[in-house]
Amino acid sequence: MKVPNVTPVKFNQRLANSLEKFSEQGGEKIANYINAAGKFAIAPLMILYNPFTKESKENKEWAAVKQPVEAVVTIAAQILSLNLLYKGIDKLAEKGKLSFKLVQDAINGVEKIPDTILKANNGDIQKSIMAMHKNCIDIFKDRVGTILTIALYIPILAISNRVFPIIADLLTKDSKNE
């Protein structure tokens, strides 16, 4: 007798839907979130409980505190800068100052619109062209966002290196050091 596989399908569908919603954030934002989460939660634990190092407890604590501080500074700066960048790109697109060859080709010839986009928009050419334009803008945002994230790496590191000692001193002080 074959048992229906209902629960895993529902779970898999929920997981797929969740991942799809998460992926709509754009590749660079997702990478930033995952990197920050790892620095915030996993890196300090690995530093504190590393059995292969002979560092003192105080040194481990000091080093472990740096990771969450850097994660918070990094994610805050990146979210702020990426949101500003994306708003700027959207404004340029609204004013018609961003054009993409793929979209121009589709405007000049309907046969240039991929069938999957036409089908998704029920054959509506105008909606299909708008969908292509939105896809191009999203890809452009992600690519420019990657460049911005790379460019911000050193300034963010400098800021976190300034903030970190202050926070580390506050968090690692014990009653003997006061």
Q: Report the pLDDT averaged over residues 144-151.
A: 89
List the domain range (segments joined by +) for residue 80. 27-172
Residue 51 lies in a domain: yes
Domains of the chain: total: 1
Residue 63 lies in a domain: yes
Question: For 5-32, how does the pLDDT look when each residue is reduced to its tens digit (9 = 90+)?
Answer: 545 557 677 777 776 776 666 666 777 7
Buried b (16+ CB within 10 A) or exposed e, 21-46: eeeeebebbebbeeebeebbeebbee
Question: For 21-72, how does the pLDDT look when each residue is reduced to its tens digit (9 = 90+)?
Answer: 766 666 667 777 888 888 888 988 898 888 888 888 888 888 888 888 888 8
Residue 16 lies in a domain: no
Residue 87 lies in a domain: yes
pLDDT value at residue 176 = 46
Q: What percent of the chain has pLDDT over 70?
A: 84
Across the chain, mean pLDDT equals: 81
| Cβ partners under 8 Å of residue 60, min gap 6 | 47, 48, 50, 53
Q: In this structure, what are the phi and psi dihedrals at residue 109, rounded to the nearest 5 degrees? A: -155, 115
Q: Report the pLDDT averaged over residues 125-137.
A: 88
Residue 8 lies in a domain: no
Confidence band of 178 (pLDDT split at 50, 70, 90): very low
**Candidate from 8-17, 82-91, 106-115, 135-144 with smallest mean pLDDT:** 8-17
This model's pTM is above 0.85: no
Residue 7 lies in a domain: no
Residue 70 lies in a domain: yes
Residue 59 lies in a domain: yes
Q: Report the pLDDT averaged over residues 89-98.
A: 90
